[in-house]
Structure 1
Amino acid sequence: MSEAQTEYRVEAADVEKAFGELKVLKGVSFKVAAGTATTIIGPSGSGKTTLLRTLNALDRADSGVIRVDDVEIDFAAPTTKAEVRRFQSRSGFVFQGHNLFPHKTVIENVTEGPLMVQKRPKDEVMAEAVTLLDQVGLAAKRDQYPFQLSGGQQQRVGIARALALKPKVVLFDEPTSALDPELVGEVLSVIKDLAVQGWTLVIVTHEIQFARQVSNQVLFTDQGIILERGTPEEVIGNPRQERTRQFLQRILNPL
C-alpha cells in the first residue's frame, strides 16, 4: 500500500515538551498506520514515556499537532476541556504500575470507564467485560480484588480495562517493567495476541526481542528526538546509527 493509500491512526507533527528548563521532546514527528504495532525503544530519559503520554494528553505537549483517529489538537493553540476529553477518548492507556482501583473487583475495574464515563448500558458493558476477561485469561478472577492477584494478572486486568473503552489506539507504557521476570511472558503474550487481532498499538518497551517480534515499526529515541525508525529488521537487526548500535549492544549483550 502506498503512502497516500495508508490509513494512519496516529499522526504527530513537531511535538515539543519541556518540564521547566528540561526539554524532553524536541520536534518529534511520526505516524502509526491503522492495525499495526509501533514500539518505542531507547535509553532512560530519552523521552519515550513522555512521548507516549502526549498521545493521550496525560502530559500536554507545549506545541505541535497530534491527531488520534478523527480528533486533532494543535497544542500551541488554546483548547477546551471538552476537546481534550474527546481527544483522550480515542485511546486507551495501560500504565506501568497497573493503576487499578484497589477497592473494586476485577470486573468493576473493567466496567468503570464504560459505565461512568461513556454512560453505556450496563448489560452490554458487563457482557463485553466478561468476554475481555476471558480474552486475557482472567474470567475466573472476575470477583476478586487486585490485592488477590499477581502483578502479571493485575496488568492483564489493566489491559482489559483499556480495551473496554473501545479505543482506536492502545498505548502501553513499559507494561512489564514492574513485573517479576517470570510474569513478563504472560503479559507480552496478551499484547502479541492484540497485535495479531489487528488492534493499533503503541508500546514503550525495554523488551527488545519482544519489540522485534511484535512490531511493524520501531522508533529509537535519544535525547528527545527520534534518531532512527523503520522495521524491526532495519532498526534492531541492522541499525544505521552508531548511537542505536551502542544502545542495542548494551541491552542485548550485557556484561
Structure 2
Amino acid sequence: MTEPLLDVQGVRKEFDGVPVLRDVSFSAQSGTVTVVIGPSGSGKTTLLRTLNALDVADGGTIRIDDVSADFGSTVDKRVLKSFRAQSGMVFQSHNLFPHKTVLQNIVEGPVVVQKRPADEAAKDARVLLDQVGLADKADSYPFQLSGGQQQRVGIARALALQPELMLFDEPTSALDPELVGEVLVVMKNLAAEGWTMVVVTHEIKFAQQVADQVLFIDNGVVLESGTPAEVLAEPKQERTQQFLKRILDPL
C-alpha cells in the first residue's frame, strides 16, 4: 500500500486547560473518504481545524502529502501557511462574502492568496460552478440563493484552491431537511471523482454509502475506527452502540 496522503499521530489540543483532543491518530489514503462521527462536544470540529491549522495542535504530528509538522515543538508560520494551502475547508455556515457575487466569492482565494491571474481564476470558477450545479448563478449574490445553494458555492470556493485534502464540518447541519440532499449529491460526486475527504457529519446514510473508513470520537478520543460495515453495522464499543441507537432510533 502506498504512503497515506494524510497521517495524524498523537494529536492533542486543549482550550483553557481542558483537553479537547487526546492523542488522536489515524491516516487516510489518497482518494478515500473518512467520515468522523460522535456526539456534540466530542472534538470533531477541533480535529478538522487542527488539520487545517485554524487551531494549532498542542502536540502530535500531522502530515498532508509532503507537508508535515511536529506540534510538540514550535511550528514555523510558513509551515502553518503550507498546511492551510494543502486543505480546503467547508464550514457549517457558508461564510460567503455578502457584498460579493458568487463568482467573486470563488475567485477571492485563488487571486488574493495564491496570486493567480484573475481571468484564469474566473474561468476555473465557472467550471466549478457547473460542477456543483450552479452555472447560472455566477452573478447572483448570496442573499439571492437558498441555503443549499450557498453551501454548494462554499464547496466550489474550497475546491478553487485546488487542495490535496477537502475538509467538511457538518456541511448540512444548518440546512432545511429538503435541502440536505442537494449538498450530499455534490459530495458524493466529489468522492467518486477521487477527492480525498474528511467529513464530520451526522448523516449516517451518507457514511454508509460513501465512506472508506469511519471514526467514532467521544470525549476527544477515537474510540472506534474501521469500515462502515464494522463501525456502523457492527460496532464493538458500547459507547458507539449507544450513540448510533440514539441517531438512528431517537424515539
Q: Which amino acid aligns with 1:77?
A: S
Gaps of 5+ in 1: none
Q: Distance in 1 between matches of 2:2 and 2:174?
A: 35
* CA displacement, residues 45-82 of structure 1 (integer Å, 9 cap, x when unaligned): 11111111100011111111001111001112112222
Report Cα offsets for 1:92-130 as digits up to 9, x if no partner. 000000111111100000000001110112222111100
1:150 pairs, out of 146, 149, 159, with: 146
Aligned residue type for 1:205: T
- Secondary structure of the residue that 2:56 maps to in structure 1? coil
Alpha-carbon deviation of 1:21? 2.5
Counterpart for residue 164 of structure 2:
168
- The aligned residue for residue 58 of structure 2 is 62
Distance in structure 1 (CA, Å) of the matches to 2:3 and 2:106: 29
How far, CA to CA, are the matches of 1:80 and 1:27 in structure 2?
A: 22
Partners of 1:220 and 1:107 in 2: CA distance: 37
Q: List structure 1 segments (4+ residues) > 2 angstroms apart after TM superposition.
A: none
CA distance in 1 between partners of 2:131 and 2:114 (Å): 22
Identity of aligned residues (%): 65
* 1:159 aligned partner, one-letter code: I
TM-score where L is the length of structure 2: 0.98
**Counterparts of 1:88-103 in structure 2 under 5 Å?**
88-103=84-99
How big is the shift at 1:214? Answer: 1.0
1:146 counterpart letter in structure 2: P
Normalising by the residue count of structure 1, what TM-score does the alignment of the two structures yield?
Answer: 0.97
Aligned with residue 116 of structure 1, among 112, 122, 143: 112
Q: Is the aligned partner of 1:135 residue 2:135?
A: no
Aligned partner (choices 3, 9, 13) of residue 5 of structure 2: 9
SS at match of 1:8: coil
Partners of 1:109 and 1:123 in 2: CA distance:
14
Worse overlay, 120-129 or 174-183: 120-129
Local SS of the residue matching 1:144? coil
CA displacement at 1:7 relative to structure 2: 3.2
Q: Structure 2 counterpart of 1:183, which letter?
A: L
Q: 2:132 and 2:84 mapped to 1: Cα distance?
A: 24
Q: Which residue of 2 aligns with 1:234?
A: 230
The one-letter amino acid of 1:104's match is: K
Output the CA distance in 2 between the equivalents of 1:244 and 1:86.
35
**2:209 is matched with which residue?**
213
**Alpha-carbon distance between aligned partners in 1 of 2:119 and 2:5, rounded to the nearest angstrom:** 30
Q: Which amino acid aligns with 2:9?
A: A
CA distance in 1, matches of 2:217, 2:63: 20
Aligned equivalent of 1:249, options 233, 245, 251: 245
Shift in Å, 1:236: 0.2
Deviations 1:170-225 (Å, cap 9, x if unpaired)?
A: 00000000101110000000000000000000000011111111100000001111
CA RMSD of aligned residues (A): 0.8
**Correspondence for 1:80 among 76, 79, 89:** 76
Whether 2:231 is the aligned partner of 1:204: answer no
Shift of 1:242: 0.9
Per-residue CA shift, 1:134-185, capped at 9, x if unaligned?
A: 0001110000110110000000000000000000000000000010111000
Pairs aligned (count): 251
Find the partner of 2:185 among 169, 181, 189: 189
